Amino acid sequence: MRFFNTLTREIEEFVPLDPKGKQVSLYTCGPTVYNFAHIGNFRAYVFEDILHRHLEFRGFRVRRVMNLTDVEDKTIRGCRQAGVSLSDFTKPFKEAFFQDLERLRMKKADVYPAATDPEQIARMIEMISILIKKGHAYLAEDQSVYFRLSTFPAYGKLAHFRLDELRPSGRVKSDEYEKENVGDFALWKAWDEEDGLIFWDSPWGKGRPGWHIECSAMSLGLLGPQIDIHCGGEDNIFPHHEAEIAQSECVTGLPFVKLWMHCRHLLVDGRKMSKSEGNFFTLRDLMDKGWTGREIRYALSKIRYREQLNFTIDGLVAARNALERLDEWSRRIHAAAIGAADPKSHSQLDTAAFGAALDEDLNTSAALGVLFDVIRDSNRLLDQNQLSPENSASLCGWLKEVNSVLCLGPDHEDVPQKVSELLTQRERARAQKQWAQSDALRDQILALGWMVKDTKEGQQLNKINRESK
Ligand code: AMP
Ligand code: ZN
């Protein structure tokens, strides 16, 4: 497997830190829960989901962490405006986030630590204390603690700039004269009136952690001092991930992350989709308009994570059409596979190219290309009555593999064992013209929640009362 590493700007062979080559640690920056996540955010999460699943498909054991940023300027502003506590303010957005993940068929991370979890705050305070002790951080007059950038000359290695090129940006707040150097960033923000009741006690007085330290502390605490892969959207590269490297490496003295992977922004009309631009769609917006989670997942995974993806309604229409083709094909091969002998020994079509495309820096466009080539070729064989039940069964098995990574399949490919046994019996009964037996078997299948229809291609199976796709 080879992936593009933002740190080296090269495509590198993937070798995990684990000497046995099995375990992979993956840290993925999560949402700021002050609003519903937009589908630009979900482009990042879908890319990470496919990465996670593909690593597992290739036999790695993945341990993954995704943080929830539930305290920073926007969440504080939001809860004060709403006149509720911080946790009451963020709770519905956290719940909505998990609901959205499910709708987009995402695999769960192992842990979703929240920045306000007491053990996370304790870890952050501990890390900041170590940084102060080592001279990498200092307490400023305003009682905030800042990272001393001059002690970490490697700052800039991820975003590829030199420290002396760092200039004050528009984001610099008016009170930043407290800092020794303009690039120094806050590890701990001293309480001020705007924070209201939101603060934690620390050795430096009451205050709250900075955003960057959150991810360093969680990664270190939950995945260890060094990890294999850290992901996010491209806007995370600087300053967030650059700061994470500085904090983590100054605490541990070890390289923090082996492979940095960033997805390009989702665009709308050529501009980054973002809350501040006001040009965003949430998953809910699109689902209210009748689009399904599966269609949106398709539209977001159609283009490889590192390439530009412009979001359009036409893209969703194309997704709908492609998925209809996939469903139709899935129905055909499942019907054609009934009564197959040993599916494993048969493979008429080249399906290995699918995994190979994902091995090559997660090329989802090429992988989908392989899928639709196989669909076209096997449909042609089916039209000519030249696809044997064994070959069809082997394609059904392959589709399962494809779906274990892309998760775009219809609901019905997971036909329960009992149902497929009954289908096979029914196929035999029909071949022997035992119509009464065939009807009885159809009723048994119906009782299990599946409807069989007889078509010229054989039995067609549909789940009854399918949930909305
Ligand atoms: P935030 O909630 O702003 O912290 O963002 C959560 C994740 O979504 C981060 O990994 C961001 O880099 C990513 N992200 C934000 N906007 C976009 C976008 N338009 N396209 C892709 N990823 C994005
Ligand atoms: Zn982060």
Extents of the domains making up the chain = 2-263, 311-406, 417-463
- Closest ligand 1 atom to Cα of 267: 19
| Level-2 CATH architecture, domain 2-263 | 3-Layer(aba) Sandwich (3.40)
Contacts of 439 (CB under 8 A, 6+ apart): none
Give the number of the atom of ligand 1 that is nearest the alpha carbon of residue 264: 21
Q: Does domain 311-406 have CATH number 1.20.120.640?
A: yes
249 touches 225 (CB < 8 A): no
From residue 413, alpha-carbon distances to 46, 142, 286, 307, 319 in Å are 22, 61, 26, 31, 19
- Predicted local confidence at residue 411, as pLDDT: 58
pLDDT at position 465 is 61
Dihedral in degrees, nearest 10, Cα atoms 232, 235, 241, 243: -160
Nearest of 320, 398, 299, 393 to residue 352 by alpha carbon: 398
Q: Please give the distance, rounded to the nearest whole angstrom, from the Cα atom of residue 74 to the centre of ligand 2.
A: 16
DSSP-assigned beta bridge partners for residue 309: 266
CB of 332 closer than 8 Å to CB of 74: no
pLDDT confidence of residue 347 = 67
Q: By C-alpha distance, which of 208, 240, 185 is closest to 28?
A: 240
Can you tell me the distance from the alpha carbon of 130 to that of 16, in angstroms, rounded to the nearest whole number?
Answer: 28
Q: Whose CA is nearest to atom 7 of ligand 1?
A: 41
Query: Could you tell me which residues are beta bridge partners of residue 88?
Result: none
Handedness of CA 423, 428, 430, 436 (dihedral sign): negative
Nearest residue to 463 (alpha-carbon basis) of 450, 453, 454, 452: 450
Residue 138 has a pLDDT of 97
Which residues neighbour 11 within 8 Å (Cβ) at sequence distance 6 or greater? 2, 3, 4, 5, 361
User: Is the pTM higher than 0.85?
Assistant: yes
231 CA distance to ligand 2 middle (Å):
9
> In 3-state terms, what secondary structure has residue 28?
strand
CA 237 to ligand 2 center in whole angstroms:
10
Q: What is the pLDDT of residue 171?
A: 44
Burial class (CB in 10 A: 0-12, 13-18, 19+), 318: middle
pLDDT at site 232: 98
Tokens (6 digits) for 390? 């064994």
Q: Is residue 461 helix, strand or coil? A: strand
Place of tokens 């499942």: 334
The bound ligand whose nearest atom lies closest to the alpha carbon of 248 is 2
Question: Residue 239 Cα, ligand 1 centroid: separation in angstroms?
Answer: 14
Q: Cα–Cα distance between 107 and 399 in angstroms, integer? A: 18
For the CA of 37, the nearest atom of ligand 1: 2
Residue 457 confidence (pLDDT): 65
Closest ligand, as measured to the CA of 67 = 2
**Helical ranges in 58-194 per DSSP H:** 73-82, 86-103, 118-133
What is the number of the ligand closest to the CA of 35? Answer: 1
Facing residues of 451 across strands? 462
- Please give the Cα distance from 248 to 127 (Å, whole number): 9
Q: For residues 189 and 210, is the Cβ–Cβ distance under 8 A?
A: yes
Q: How crowded is residue 198: how many other Cβ atoms within 10 Å of its Cβ?
A: 18
Which ligand gives the minimal distance to the CA of 235? 1
Q: Is 107 helix (H, G, I), strand (E, B) or coil?
A: coil
- Which of 338, 341, 296, 328 lies closest to 422 in space, CA to CA? 338
Q: Which residues have any ligand 1 atom within 6 Å of their CB?
A: 29, 31-32, 40-41, 43-44, 232-233, 235-236, 263, 265-266, 272-274
Q: What is the pLDDT of residues 206-231, one digit of tens each?
A: 999 999 999 999 999 999 999 999 99
Tens place of pLDDT for every residue, the chain, 469 residues? 999 999 999 999 999 999 999 999 999 999 999 999 999 999 999 999 999 999 999 999 999 999 999 999 999 999 999 999 999 999 999 999 999 999 999 999 999 999 999 999 999 999 999 999 999 999 999 999 999 999 999 999 999 988 777 765 544 444 455 788 888 999 999 999 999 999 999 999 999 999 999 999 999 999 999 999 999 999 999 999 999 999 999 999 999 999 999 999 999 988 999 888 889 999 999 999 999 999 999 999 999 999 999 999 999 999 999 999 999 999 899 889 888 887 565 567 889 999 999 999 999 999 999 999 999 999 999 999 999 999 999 999 999 999 999 999 875 456 677 887 788 888 888 888 999 999 999 999 999 888 898 877 677 777 776 443 3
Q: Which atom of ligand 1 is nearest to the CA of 280?
A: 19
Q: What is the pLDDT of residue 341?
A: 82
